[in-house]
Structure 1
Amino acid sequence: MDEVIQKQTNVQYRIQILSAIKRYYEYLVMTGARKDHPSKKLNIKNKANQDIQLQDLFSSEELQLLLQGENSYWFLETRNNVLLSLLIYQGLTSDEITNLELKNIDLENGTIYIKASKTLNRRTLELLNKQILPLSKYIDEVRPKMLRCKSDKLILKKLGKPISVDGIHSVTESLKSLFPDRKLNPQTIRMSVICNWLNEKKYDLVKVQELVGHK
């Protein structure tokens, strides 16, 4: 790193190199060439840097564990299942979830419409079969009982009003005990979903760009 900084002072450059080195040692451990991972706990300190380390993201199997959390209130189980499934299957942002309305869900065709924002494109995404039943139950049974004001917003908070970005963060915050040594929030979930689409499902870059709405 001392040699690198002489050529390039940008801290992001060093972070990318260290990330690549970590991936290389992970490969050596996976293939049996080494038993230890000497760079696993190394990080580049940068107070201004908020980037997520790629090796700290979550696999598809790990994301599935988020759907198994227990809730104190019966109606939150279905709501949280719907909310978390939109994070881990469609890779939506917190803002996109707060802006979802009932009319954006088409259960008959199994799709969800995402509105455009200043930074992301509008798009229509497919729902997984496993999402249809919880969504139907939430929309037809749970949401009407939760509702305490006139609103077409899809996701409600515990007190029956439209959920906020902070409310979504609170839901993921309550699940941090599953991964105490990693950052678990809507942003890291979305980044994990993007990486898993590329690396596990082998989607091409253009398809992933369309799925996540990147301009």
Structure 2
Amino acid sequence: MAAISVTDINLEAGSIYIKSTPTTNSRTLSLKPGQILLLYTWLREIRPRLLKGADSDVLLIGHRSKPMSADDIVKHVIRSYKNTYPERSVTAQAIRGSVIANLLAHGHDISVVQQFAGHKYPSSTERYKQSGVETLKAAIEQYHPMR
């Protein structure tokens, strides 16, 4: 997320371009209407105030008018959600994994999820599949009163 630039956002087309990394492919993802509205507000109102006249192409800007690093983003996610989910370890990676697992659990085709996640290999996406037994085990571990 720290690598996303303002030019990667196309509000008119309702899309965001994600650059490739050593482990993921580049991809263009569709934005939902609520996401478009949030990004519009961020780009037109909030981000310019945070920049305070500074110049930066980076999408996410912190309170000191500097681009947010990956570590800053992780700290923000943890700080924002630790009270909402106190029993869970909330990280950017956990959220990403949860989204991928949920897409697969809801029957989305593995090749579609692979493209969405930017995985180079189908096997990378397949490891997020959970069998019914694994899901049941996870629920028991989380909610069983004798743990």
What interval of TM-score do these two structures reach, taking the shorter chain for normalisation?
0.7 to 0.9
Give aligned-pair identity as a percent. Answer: 40
Counterpart Cα distance in 2 of 1:158 and 1:106: 24
Does residue 99 of structure 1 match 2:99? Answer: no
Counterpart Cα distance in 2 of 1:131 and 1:172: 17
Which residue of structure 2 lines up, in the alignment, with residue 188 of structure 1?
Answer: 94
Structure 2 SS opposite 1:189: helix
User: Which ranges of 4 or more aligned residues in structure 1 deviate by more than 2 Å?
Assistant: none
Which residue of structure 1 lines up, in the alignment, with residue 143 of structure 2?
Answer: none
Does residue 128 of structure 1 match 2:37? Answer: no
Q: CA RMSD in A?
A: 1.0
Counterpart Cα distance in 1 of 2:83 and 2:115: 33
Residue 134 of structure 1, CA deviation: 1.1
* CA deviation map 1:54-98 (0-9, x unaligned): xxxxxxxxxxxxxxxxxxxxxxxxxxxxxxxxxxxxxxxxxxx10
Equivalent position to 2:104, from 187, 198, 208: 198
Equivalent position to 1:154, from 59, 75, 93: 59
Bigger Rg over Cα = 1
Does residue 178 of structure 1 match 2:84? Answer: yes
Counterpart Cα distance in 2 of 1:131 and 1:186: 18
Q: If the length of structure 1 is used for normalisation, what is the TM-score?
A: 0.53
Residue 153 of structure 1, CA deviation: 0.3
Which residue of structure 2 lines up, in the alignment, with residue 111 of structure 1?
Answer: 15
Provide structure 2 residue ranges, at least 5 long, that are not aligned to the other structure.
121-147
Residue 189 of structure 1, CA deviation: 0.2
Does residue 212 of structure 1 match 2:117? Answer: yes
Provide structure 1 residue ranges, at least 5 long, that are not aligned to the other structure.
1-96
Which has more helix, going by share of residues? 1
Q: If the length of structure 2 is used for normalisation, what is the TM-score?
A: 0.77
